[in-house]
Structure 1
Amino acid sequence: MTTLPGLLTASDYNVEAIRKDFPLLDRVVHDGKKIVYLDNAATSQKPRQVLDALTEYYEQHNANVHRGVHVLAEEATALYEGARDKVAAFINAPSRDEVIFTKNASESLNLVANMLGWADEPYRVDRETEIVITEMEHHSNIVPWQLLSQRTGAKLKWFGITDDGRLDLSNIEEIITEKTKIVSFTLVSNIMGTINPVEAIIRRAQQVGALVCIDASQAAPHMVLDVQALQADFVAFTGHKMVGPTGIGVLWGRQELLEDLPPFLGGGEMIETVSMHSSTYAPAPHKFEAGTPPIAQAVGLGAAVDYLSAIGMDKIEAHEHAITAYAMKRLGEIPDLRFIGPDTAENRAATISFTLGDIHPHDVGQVLDEQGIAVRVGHHCARPVCLRYGIPATTRASFYLYSTPGEVDALVDGLEHVRNFFG
């Protein structure tokens, strides 16, 4: 069994015990091969504790929330709002009312963009203002801002990427100016694993009075996420990447902003009063949760938060850092393998993208799949990164709390097979 220098001892972090909680990791595919799941940046697997919470909700408590007075409605409401309490504690939110449930991080980011497009001063984005993003973003943090720019006439600007996969902040004072209304950027790159320098960007944004929105979709599953320490104005993430169910996302926002900004969607639950002439809105968070919310999914996310918290996000982060360092070392030994992004484990998360000679990533992924190894291939909804490095796509291996050194070894052996297969 491969061991990792500096990896936590079994008494502190028992990865084999953790793996037993995830039924899918026992799945056998392709002629009896046990699956090696290395596509965690796309979605994580779910532990029995989360699956059981979903089943129990549907079997014992299923009802709509907030308005019913019967026992099931009251139980469902308590579970749904209890999940909000858990998420608030998980991210160290000052108030539970700052936690908005959405269907995913994409909706959370669209919510922010639309609020600012419809807002009154001093928050309104218009043709006299600027929006700042980065070349490193997932499409979910590019397209909403492009749409807002097109709709309002605001100028869209962005930070570039250095050759070694870091944000180029050399011109930060030219990019973030007195005209900047919002700076929206990823905490961790979904394609390269780069951990971005939050403090420098937020400090400059605050100097010019700009709001800051952070896409934490690739951070919340892997590290301690403290919204108060970040000092951002909005933070978005999604449940399915952090051992929770699909169909649930989170937007955290500073309470005073949520009180002042207009709602994104209209409908039931988000109202205070309605007449045929006008409506008034409920306080946050309900102002931003129109219609029947993702109740079961929120309950599942609450169970996921319980699961991750019981292990400890600091321990998960340490485990993944050791796995990533080991993977960088092993992959770096393969001839013709080129890392796309940082080539060391410093200031990077557990996601590694690479190319392998002139073999197309889709061919790499298909041959690996035949060996039971699940990786991601393509541009990973981050096509500007691929354009930046002059490549059509990458192969991406991404690790999580249940990943093992043996799975890294399997990936390396699989890539050697790919090289031999294509000669």
Structure 2
Amino acid sequence: MGNSHSSRKPSPAGLDLHHAHATPVLGRKRSSAFSALTLGCASGHPYAASLPSYHPHELSFREDSSSSSVSDRDEKRSFDPPPVYALSTTPDIPDDAALPAYKAFLKEYPQYQLTWILDALRRTDFARLDRNGETYVDYMGGSLYPESLIQVHAHFLQRSILGNTHSVSNSSRLSASRADEARRAVLEFFRAPPGYTVIFTANASGALKLVGESFPFTSGSTYVLGADSHNSVHGIRQFAQARGAQVCYLESTDVGGVDAAATKAVLAHHRPRGGRAPPSLFALTGQSNISNSKNPLSLIEFAASQGYSTLLDAAALAPTSVISLADTPVDAMAISFYKMFGFPTGVGALVAKESFLAQLERPWFAGGTVDVVQAPGKIVTMAAEMHERFEDGTINYLSLPAITDGLRFLSAYLPFLPLRLSSLTRHLITSLSQLRHDTTNTPVVHILSRRPSKDVKNVGEQSDTGSVLALLFLFPSGQMIPNSFIEYAASRQNISLRTGCMCNPGGAAALLGLRQAMTDLPCDATLRAFEQRMGRELGVVRISLGLASDFRDVWRVIQFAKVMASDSARSALWDEWLGEKTGIAL
């Protein structure tokens, strides 16, 4: 489009612990760990109220007694902040009842203390959680944004003049250069080898739709996908069927995900045969947003060896797992940035091989995707840059600089997340499984999702599942407590969780034992009619942990479950719920 692009490379991610008092220079991009600039500033800083207080005798400093007087040393103690590590490893457990539980937790999971840097992050970028008394456990729905990311982006917008990228003005050049910088940051974050490009979309669903509507399905093609997939993956079947392709489902296991051996058998059976075989597509869900299952990414390599084009839905996988496109060279991958680091919403991406994009057939063209259009007439010349052919209209150029900063931010903390979240998830599963009703001694919850089998012990290790719990709460009789009541009761305890089928009907049906009922659905089915037929609400209660989660969040969820175990406490909340319009309607 005639835009000039910046050649400045993104600065490497890392923590600058030696410049804790440094003031960021406006107009420049800061490194990934923005919050490191605020750590240790125990006085005169907006975060000071959230940091623990220290007395001089609690800290030791390296001093030269021969050159420092007593008054100098006292002044040094009063001026210097405590070291970052000291601030970070002191637990914020204000509730006396939680402290013994925290100590017991550390005895069982001592490796959790290796993630102390995330405690520092919680005290700074996510201090609003504790100020508001909110327990947020819906990270699979959307991650929370770090405050420093918003501040950095706001400073950039305040000092910059950005214009539509479809021009060559100075403001347009700046927008285009920041967009290119964001593309490079995405490719670097996912370790993409040469040959990949980034197409910015509204979200992961938009990225998946781009592939579905453009893939050259035809009679003889096959679209292979798992039942435990997001609706956006299921939706591609509409494009496949409209062009005469066969849709082949991989059955979900009882705890979600696909069976690797069965998947390979299906892929081999339906593989494209011959050099001129119609193109077929295999879509793999990296991690289920309801069952907590991670599917083996090696299935992508196997599918490619069988002649399939490959598509990875990484929306649920990318926020807490390392993905290397060099190790897993999938043809196309869909992500949403708000699920990774909370801001901005409305921006996702399709990370794809240019060779794969060249095979796609877009059903229309729009502003920005073309070079020449004959009007009236039929001649269309698409844009020279491959990514421009798929970005309809004007990209979200005001938000793209935040993508660069957000990826730098997340890269500093991502190595610690599997260790931290694995410990918290395992503790939560164990604690909830042990709860019993005070009147019947029957279980309070029924955990449906896949449980982790790997005990992550070191920073940098990857977990074999996500950090999602799908469960049902039970009455003392063993019947399911309505999810709508659980959501109401949780909100009264300032707990943000989610209930329902999570836009994943196949995964929900597998967990709830409703696969046959799903098969028998009439063509005019509605959710209300389906629930009436089943005699209960459909869906699960989902608790999902993420970037800012700590022990307090898990402890408060356990305390909430104990309320459900108490007949008197639960009954009081039930009466309140029935008094609400929602309760009466249900």
Match of 1:413 in 2: 559
* Structure-1 residue corresponding to 2:313: 215
SS at match of 1:400: coil
- Structure 1 pair 294/155, CA: closer, same or farther in 2 (3 Å)? same
Aligned with residue 187 of structure 1, among 273, 286, 297: 286
Select 2:500's aligned residue among 346, 369, 378.
Answer: 378
Q: Secondary structure at the match of 1:377?
A: strand
The residue identity in structure 1 corresponding to 2:332 is: F
The runs of 5 or more residues in structure 1 that have no matched partner are 29-33, 117-123
Q: 1:359-398 deviations in whole A, cap 9, x for unaligned? A: 0122112101100111111111112222232361111111
Higher strand fraction: Structure 1 or Structure 2?
1
In 1, Cα distance between the equivalents of 2:355 and 2:260? Answer: 30
Q: Any idea what the Cα deviations from partners look like across 1:324-374, whole Å, max 9, x if unmatched?
A: 222222222222422222133542111111111210122112101100111
Residue 338 of structure 1 is matched in structure 2 by 446
C-alpha distance in structure 2 between counterparts of 1:408 and 1:375, whole Å: 12
CA contact (8 A) 1:227 1:235 kept: no
Counterpart in the other structure of 2:470:
353
Counterpart of 2:391 (choices 269, 289, 314) is 289
Counterpart residue type for residue 160 of structure 1: E
Give the direction of change, closer, same or farther, for the CA distance of 1:97–1:291 in structure 2 (3 Å limit). Answer: farther
Picking from 410, 422, 428, the partner of 1:308 is 410
Q: What TM-score results when the alignment is normalised by the length of structure 2?
A: 0.66
Give the alignment's TM-score, normalised by structure 1.
0.90
Q: Percent identity?
A: 22
Relative to structure 1, the CA distance from residue 408 to residue 248 in structure 2 (aligned partners, 3 Å threshold; closer, same or farther) is: same
Aligned with residue 60 of structure 1, among 155, 159, 165: 159
Report the CA distance shift for 1:372/1:248 in structure 2 as closer, same or farther (over 3 A). same
The CA deviation string for residues 68-108 of structure 1, in whole angstroms up to 9 with x for no partner, is: 34332222222222111111110111248611111100010
Report what 2:247 is aligned to. Answer: 156
Between Structure 1 and Structure 2, how many residues are aligned?
A: 407
Offset at 1:405?
A: 1.4
Aligned match of 1:132 in 217, 220, 224? Answer: 224
Deviations 1:125-184 (A, max 9, x none): 1121211111110111111x2211331121111111222334234433552222471110
Partner Cα separation in structure 2 for residue 182 and residue 396 of structure 1: 31
Identify the residue that residue 13 of structure 1 maps to in structure 2. Answer: 116
SS of residue in 2 equivalent to 1:99: strand
Query: Which secondary structure state, in structure 1, belongs to the residue aligned with residue 335 of structure 2?
Result: strand
Give the Å deviation of 1:43.
0.4
Query: Structure 1's 77 and 290: CA in aligned 2 closer, same or farther, altered over 3 A?
Result: same
| Closer/same/farther in 2, CA of residues 221 and 202 from structure 1, 3 Å limit | same
Do the aligned partners of 2:445 and 2:473 also contact (CA within 8 Å) in 1?
A: yes
Provide structure 2 residue ranges, at least 5 long, that are not aligned to the other structure.
1-98, 273-278, 436-442, 455-463, 475-479, 515-537, 572-586
1:7 alignment partner, SS class = helix
Tell me whether 1:142 sits opposite 2:234 in the alignment. yes
Residues 107-122 of structure 1 mapped to structure 2, 5 A cutoff:
107-116=206-215
> For 2:136 and 2:297, how far apart are their aligned partners in 1?
30
Kept after mapping to 2: 8 A contact 1:359/1:422 = no
* Mapped partners of 1:137, 1:197: distance in 2: 14
Larger Rg: 2
Tell me how far apart the structure 1 counterparts of residues 397 and 453 of structure 2 sit (CA, whole Å): 38
**Structure 2 contact 287–295 (Cα < 8 Å) conserved:** yes
CA distance in 2, matches of 1:63, 1:355: 49
Instruction: Give the 3 Å change call, closer, same or farther, for CA 385–83 of structure 1 in structure 2.
Output: same
| SS of structure 1 residue aligned to 2:326 | helix
Residue 279 in structure 1 maps to residue 380 in structure 2 = yes
Moved more, 338-347 or 290-299: 338-347
- Secondary structure at the residue paired with 1:128? coil
Secondary structure in structure 2 of the residue aligned to 1:354:
strand
Equivalent position of 1:226 in the other structure: 324
Which gives a bigger RCO, structure 1 or 2 (Cα 8 Å, sep 6+)? 1
The alpha-carbon distance between structure 1 residues 291 and 406, as it changes in their structure 2 partners (threshold 3 A), is same
Relative distance call for 1:139 and 1:6 in structure 2 (3 A) is farther
